[in-house]
Structure 1
Amino acid sequence: MKGPDEFDDRGRPGGPGERPRIPSPRAAAEDHGPLPNPPAPANSPEDRGPEPPAASATRPVPASPATPAPPHHVLKSLLGAWALAACSAEETAAVEAHLTDCASCADEALRLRDAVGLLHPADSLDLDPLLRSRVLEGCLGRRPARIPVPEWATPYDAEAAKLDALLRDMGEAEWRAPVRLRWFQGERPVERETTVAGVIGHLMTVDGLVATTLGLADPLGRTVPGALGPTTRTEKYWQAVGAEPSRLATHGPWRDQSHALIRTVSFAGDSAGELSVPYGAFRLPLCDSFLDRAFECWVHAGDIADAVDYPYQPPAAGHLHQLVDLAARLLPVALAERRRAGLAAPPRSLVEAGAPGRTLHLEVEGNGGGHWYIALDSPAALGSPDRTVAHIALDSAEFCQLAAGHVAPEEAVAGQHGERDAIRDVLSATASLSRL
């Protein structure tokens, strides 16, 4: 058995089978002076000692052979793709490294890069969806016609061109889309449903009244009496072509007829405006008839645009003023006809020849607006501002919708004051201007 001196300083026995003993306490470090600075952390890079090399590091690693650069002709063939930024990362690096050493390829790359800049402008190449409408509006509003068109025929010329542009954009299926036509008859609104092709046939048939006055062919043929009104002529046309006329039977003939009308009155001159056009129960001078046809062309084009969900713009301000002026000039006659039918109040006073009688001040605001003085007591008299007994203020679009029969007289948004009977009668007379 070993003695105490035969154990090492960790208390381990000196030989096998010996029991370890607990070593005696050691002296504290503070008993021998100040404490030394603490050692740096083991993971500190500056204080960590050199690590022994790994076993694998002791074996030499063979160097990987460098990838050879592609030959000159391959790199030159990639210049076009590099200029278009179509190369892979490896190809881009190889080409750019080659350009630093090859002057001829560097010059070629510079020329290709400049050419790519011309092929790719900064602005988007997508066309503005409103570009066609703006170009068409500019052409219709600014380009002078080759043949001088009379001023009273220019609204019809412009509206027919706009409607033709709408019809050209429509597909074959859209020509069968249902269209609801609305107007006022007496005191009640009337509706009639047809198709887009049926609307164009209606326009062509009523335009035939103007065509026969100018000596052109009637779309209904020679067997139809010329004294028939617009509604009767339209019904006969729809009966002749069936319930759903086709695009070929309406678009081309209507367009050719409108061109012929404009061409004929352009060569005839302003004197042709005095010709009388029969509308069945009434007649209009040719100049007013062209304005009437422009108004109906615009109104029914709006009906078609609503049916096929297509944006449609009102006439230009100057043309719209002519259309509003026609409606205002027709109001005294329309008011007198309603009195004869018992639908309007009788005149308040007898009007002598040339005397103005009572007057209503019609104020139309917005594009194409103006001021009109409507004679209330006689269709032959002229309205006078001094005899004004009532005043109506309407927006130009609202007034045209009322004259087209699309708005009821009692629903018209109007600033009004004065005699209530006169205001009601004039609004109802405006709605009575509408027809099929």
Structure 2
Amino acid sequence: MSGPAFRDGGGQGGGDDGLPRVPHQRAQDGTPDGPGYGPRASEPPRQPGGDELPAAAAAPAPPPPPTAAPTPTPPEPAQPPVPDRSRRPAPQPRLQPQPQPYDHATLKSLLGAWALSACARDEALAVEVHLTDCASCADEALRLRDAVGLLHQEDSLDLDPLLRVRVLEGCLGRRPARIPVPEWAGPYDAEAARLDALLRDLGGSYWKAPVELQWFDGTTVRRRMTVGEVISHLTAVDSLVGRTMGLPVPAAEALPDGGQPGTATRTGKASTADLPLDPWERTAAYWSAQQDVPGATLRSLWREQSHNLVRTVSFAGRGAAGLDVAYGPFTLPLRDAFLDRAFECWMHAWDIAEAVDYPYDPPAPRNLNRMIDLAARMLPSALADRRRAGLTTSKSRLAPAGSPGRSLRLEIEGDGGGDWYLPLDSPGAPASEKEMVAHVAMDSVEFCQLAAGHIEPERIAVGQMGDRAVIRDVLFATASLSRL
């Protein structure tokens, strides 16, 4: 029998080398490396050479005690590859934040914060996505956005020019001043404060800005000057009012020659007697003496003088209202002189504001009414002067002394307006509606501009009825009230 021999205890057989051959047992899965590999568990181990073991040795030995499994040696950590710095990694696309899921009630409660732009980024994104699908929430969001627009109106950063007047009125209403400012001096105090606020807002860079002044002297006269020269002109004419009350020239050191070459006083300081009384000549003297004075100093001199004027008439009491202020060829009572200075302060402030594109409002209605009343009371005398100079076209009529003569109704519309009846034949004649021969109506601000010479008489828009020649004479007489 060929092939390997199987022995059961004592037979011999073998291969070419004389050793017995034992076939490999295959595992149940057919692989020679499975768990069935090796001798059978019931057979004792055999010695090579074919000799049998003794009986004692053939007995199965007790199993060895279990030993602990050897600790496996951890593998060496792999070294990280060295990055190639010559090539940069491709940028990864940035993921857009996805809106967090919100329910309808939560999104509706966020509409108010969304309208105010007070939501977080994910909340705002969720609300905007929701508004594209929910019509009711979209309508509510539009209403809330409109309401927010009403809450945040765009206001000018410039302070209201009348803020000081309102604050003073509120303070004086709670605690009246121990020494109140006379009512007729109130318009000048308010207009001087408004002009001072304008000068503070403009700053020092505008003192050399050109300003065009315009007035009427038979024909329209225009003159260009700087902001500093305008303030110096106001200081010069205001000093005529201070002269009546015995106030010194403001900062006499600024006029070392008394405003006129060769007329220095013993002390080297100017006095009110050294300066001319005519407003134009007095202004020219101030310009000559203050041409090198900085703008901030000019403003301080003018403002200090305006404070002194108001303070002095407040302490003087009622008796000072009737003092006459000399303006060269004419005079005015002190109470009317203060209204005249208020009117000129407003007009020149308007000139400055127009030159630098600064908004400037008219005076308060009650102050504007007093200025219009002064111009209306001066019109009969101005008309009589023009008639004596042969500058009128309407026929005059001689009225008996004390009897009413012809009159014109002057109707001023708008803030500060009213009705005035002006005598046409004699400044002292009483005027009444019964003898009215003409009626003129115009806006309050336009009437003031005409009285300041800023509007030519032929170009002003007026409502007129009656004698056209009389109306023309009154309009030209109003323009003749103007001066530098």
Under a length normalisation based on structure 1, what TM-score does the superposition of the two structures give? Answer: 0.68
**Of residues 202, 227, 231 in structure 2, which corresponds to 1:196?**
227
Tell me what 2:10 maps to: none
CA offset at residue 216 of structure 1? 0.2
Aligned to 2:380: 332
What is the aligned counterpart of 2:284 among 235, 257, 262?
Answer: 235
Instruction: Report what 1:271 is aligned to.
Output: 319
From 186, 208, 224, give the equivalent of 1:176. Answer: 208
Matched, 1:388 2:436: yes
Sequence identity (%) = 56
Deviates more, 1:351-360 or 1:406-415: 351-360
Are residue 259 (structure 1) and residue 307 (structure 2) matched?
yes
Letter of the structure 1 residue corresponding to residue 312 of structure 2: T
Q: Which residue in 2 is equivalent to 1:415?
A: 463
> Counterparts of 2:453 and 2:305 in 1: how far apart (Å)?
26
Cα root mean square deviation, aligned: 2.4
- What SS class does the counterpart of residue 355 from structure 1 fall into? coil
Maintained 8 Å contact 1:203/1:297: yes
Q: CA deviation at 1:309?
A: 1.4
Residue 477 of structure 2, aligned match among 429, 432, 436: 429
Alpha-carbon distance, 1:138 to partner: 2.6
Distance (whole Å) between structure 1 residues aligned to residue 121 and residue 393 of structure 2:
88
In the alignment, structure 1 segments of 5+ residues that lack a partner are: 1-84, 90-122
> Aligned partners of 1:213 and 1:131: how far apart in 2?
35
The structural deviation recorded for 1:249 is: 3.2
State whether structure 2 residue 190 is matched by structure 1 residue 151: no
Q: Which has the larger radius of gyration?
A: 2
Residue 348 to residue 309, structure 1, CA distance change in 2 (3 Å): same
Change (3 A) 1:397 1:140: farther
How far did residue 258 of structure 1 move?
A: 0.3
Is the aligned partner of 1:341 residue 2:369? no
Residue range with higher mean Cα deviation, 223-232 or 267-276: 223-232
Match of 2:335 in 1: 287
What aligned pairs does 1:29-48 form with structure 2 within 5 A after superposition? Answer: none
Corresponding residue SS for 1:169 = helix
* TM-aligned CA deviation for residue 224 of structure 1: 5.0
Change (3 A) 1:435 1:205: same
Q: Structure 2 counterpart of 1:310, which letter?
A: Y
Matching residue's letter, 1:287:
R
In 2, the alpha carbon distance for the partners of 1:88 and 1:391 equals 69
- The match for 1:319 is 367
User: Does structure 2 conserve the Cα–Cα contact (< 8 Å) formed by 1:332 and 1:375?
Assistant: yes
- 2:421/2:431 contact within 8 Å kept: yes
- Deviation, 1:425, is 0.4
Gaps of 5+ in 2: 1-117, 123-150, 251-258, 260-269
- Take 1:127 and 1:313, find their aligned partners in 2: how far apart are those partners? 16
Q: 1:289 deviation in Å?
A: 0.3
C-alpha deviation, 1:306, in angstroms: 0.9
Give the AA of the match of 1:399.
F
CA deviation map 1:183-222 (0-9, x unaligned): 000x200011111111110001000000010110134532
Task: Check conservation: 2:394, 2:470, Cα contact below 8 A.
Answer: no
CA distance in 2, matches of 1:226, 1:321: 33
Match of 2:406 in 1: 358
- Secondary structure of residue in 1 paired with 2:202: coil
AA matched with 1:138: R
CA deviation digits over 1:19-74, x for unaligned, max 9? xxxxxxxxxxxxxxxxxxxxxxxxxxxxxxxxxxxxxxxxxxxxxxxxxxxxxxxx
CA distance in 2, matches of 1:88, 1:424: 71
The letter of the residue matching 1:139 is V
Question: Aligned to 1:362, what secondary structure does the other structure show?
Answer: strand
Detail structure 1 runs of 4+ shifted over 6 Å in the superposition. none
Deviation, 1:136, is 3.5
Query: 8 Å contact 2:404–2:431 — kept in the other structure?
Result: yes
Q: Which has the higher helix share?
A: 1
